[in-house]
């Protein structure tokens, strides 16, 4: 019998500080007590993966990226009762990334039994692979924004995979959305998805359009994953005492805001899933709600092209291409 190989993408810094990425082999993890070995079959390339690679967010000199993925149980350690070999699962990669720098961009991962979820039979592989980062973020941000039904929220980068899920979930909750995009051709597509209003930031004045749409009442709250100067327009579009969650850095690692909007008590703060996943009760609530919304097709992830794991560099490039047509995957 041929030996099992655990191919893995390694990220490290060279002697001159330059980023180095390579496909190599690592030992297949042993199934120690209480742990589950998962063979990863499919993993999406998320913006958070690219940020982690480029910034060394988790602080490990050598690491394997990958914030989520889907696979099959390969082996279980003593004491494991929740899953069996051969079952479809989603492993949660946070502990591995934080503790040892081990993410999903490899063939095999080891997680505690508590850090995975069985995949319902009705869920396709591509949906299972996207179970965590985007659905949980959409659920969490809309929950914490606490927008009453019938009120408007504003979101940037609305054409992204996550932006589309926010449109879908907000529609389900009775929340109206004003969606900011960069390309005119995205407008009709998002309206078909359920967007109430769409603004093209390259051809329209965002704040003026929000005032027009809301009859100068402005929006209840906002979600911004762009940053930079656009955050200034986002904050100016929120009514007195409202909240802006900044959750991404598509434009800049900095965000601008007018002092006038601070004096209006517009609260601009960050929202990131890592602040919520270690609380077991909250994690279990995300798991339950996300599977329910995915099974009922309230949230429908936007899937795109698949690349072999060995073609990770081409996949990374494709994942940052405008109008790429859905989430890019690495496949084993």
Tokens linked to 239: 């009514």
- Distance set, CA 330 to CA 63, 168, 315 (Å): 17, 26, 7
Q: What is the mean pLDDT of residues 75-82?
A: 97
Q: What pLDDT is recorded for position 278?
A: 81
Tokens representing residue 43 in the block:
């993993």
Asked whether the predicted pLDDT for residue 74 surpasses 70, the reply is yes
- The CATH number of residue 122's host domain is 3.90.180.10
On whether residue 286 sits in a domain, the answer given is: no
Q: How confident is the model at residue 205 (pLDDT cuts 50, 70, 90)?
A: very high
- Average of per-residue pLDDT across 210-239: 97
pLDDT at position 72, please?
Answer: 98
CATH number at residue 263: 3.40.50.720
Query: Quick one: average pLDDT of 262-282?
Result: 93
Residue with tokens 């993925």: 69
- The region, left, alpha or beta by phi > 0 then psi within -120 to 50, assigned to residue 80 is beta
Specify whether 31 is located in the same domain as 64: yes
Same domain, 167 and 107: no
The answer to whether residue 285 is domain-embedded is: no
Q: Which among 255, 274, 293 is the end of a domain?
A: 274
pTM of the model: 0.94
Residue 323 confidence (pLDDT) above 80: no
Residue 112's SS3 state is strand
pLDDT digits (tens, 9 = 90+) for 150-161: 999 999 999 999
288 part of a folded domain: no
pLDDT mean across residues, the chain: 95
The angle formed by the CA atoms of residues 252, 254 and 255, to the nearest 5 degrees, is 100
Question: Could you tell me if residue 284 is inside a domain?
Answer: no
Owning domain of residue 237: 133-274
**Biggest CA-to-CA distance, the chain:** 71
Q: Using alpha carbons, select from 83, 96, 90 the residue that is nearest to residue 39.
A: 90
Q: How large a percentage of the chain has pLDDT more than 90?
A: 87
d(CA 82, CA 67) in angstroms, rounded, equals 22
First to last CA, the chain: 20
Please report the pLDDT score of residue 251 as a whole number: 87
* Tally of structural domains, the chain: 2
Produce one character per residue of 32-53: b if its CB has 16 or more CB atoms within 10 Å, e if not: eeebbbbbbbbbbbbbbbeebb
pLDDT band at 209 (very low <50, low <70, confident <90, very high): very high
Interaxial angle between packed helices 161-173 and 186-193, expressed in degrees from 0 to 180 and rounded to the nearest 10: 40
Indicate if the pLDDT at residue 15 is higher than 90.
no
Q: Is residue 219 part of a domain?
A: yes
> How would residue 2 be classed by pLDDT, with cut points 50, 70 and 90?
low
Assess whether 109 and 125 both reside in one domain.
yes
Which contiguous run of DSSP H or E holds residue 236?
helix 230-236
Decide: 235 and 261 in contact? Cβ < 8 Å. Answer: yes
Considering the domain boundaries, does residue 1 fall inside one?
no
- Is residue 108 packed enough to be buried (19+ CB in 10 Å), middle (13-18) or exposed (0-12)? buried
Same domain, 117 and 246: no
Kindly report, residue by residue over 54-69, the tens digit of the pLDDT. Answer: 888 777 889 999 999 9
Q: How confident is the model at residue 294 (pLDDT cuts 50, 70, 90)?
A: very high
Block residue for tokens 């934080």: 98
Residue 1, pLDDT > 60, answer no
Inside any domain, residue 110: yes
Model pLDDT, residue 148: 98
Q: Is the pLDDT of residue 292 over 70?
A: yes
Same domain, 137 and 214: yes
């Amino acid at each position: 019998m041929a030996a099992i190989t655990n191919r893995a993408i390694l990220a490290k810094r060279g002697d001159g500080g330059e980023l180095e990425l390579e496909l190599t082999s690592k030992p297949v993890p042993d199934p120690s007590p209480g742990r589950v070995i998962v063979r990863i079959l499919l993993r999406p390339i998320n913006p958070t993966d690219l940020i982690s690679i480029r910034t060394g967010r988790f602080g490990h000199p050598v690491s394997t990226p990958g914030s989520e993925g889907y696979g099959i149980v390969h082996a279980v350690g003593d004491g494991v009762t929740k899953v069996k070999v051969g079952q479809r699962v989603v492993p949660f990669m946070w502990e591995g990334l934080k503790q040892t720098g081990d993410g999903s961009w490899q063939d095999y991962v080891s997680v505690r039994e508590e850090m995975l979820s069985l995949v319902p039979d009705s869920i396709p592989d591509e949906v299972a692979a996207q179970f965590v980062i985007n659905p949980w973020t959409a659920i969490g941000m809309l929950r914490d924004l606490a927008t009453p039904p019938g009120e408007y929220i504003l979101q940037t980068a609305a054409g992204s995979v996550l932006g589309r899920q926010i449109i879908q979930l907000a529609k389900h909750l009775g929340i109206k959305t004003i969606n900011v995009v960069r390309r005119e051709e995205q407008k009709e597509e998002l309206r078909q998805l359920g967007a109430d209003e769409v603004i093209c930031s390259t051809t329209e004045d965002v704040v003026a359009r929000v005032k027009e749409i809301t009859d100068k009442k402005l929006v209840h709250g906002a979600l911004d994953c762009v940053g930079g100067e656009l955050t200034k327009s986002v904050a100016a579009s929120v009514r007195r005492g409202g909240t802006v969650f900044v959750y991404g850095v598509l434009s800049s690692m900095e965000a601008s805001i007018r002092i006038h909007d601070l004096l209006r008590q517009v609260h601009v703060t960050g929202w990131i899933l890592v602040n919520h996943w270690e609380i077991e009760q909250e994690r279990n609530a995300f798991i339950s709600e996300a599977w329910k919304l995915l099974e009922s097709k309230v949230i429908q992830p936007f899937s795109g092209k698949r690349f072999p794991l060995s073609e990770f560099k081409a996949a990374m490039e494709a994942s940052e291409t405008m109008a790429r047509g859905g989430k890019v995957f690495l496949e084993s």
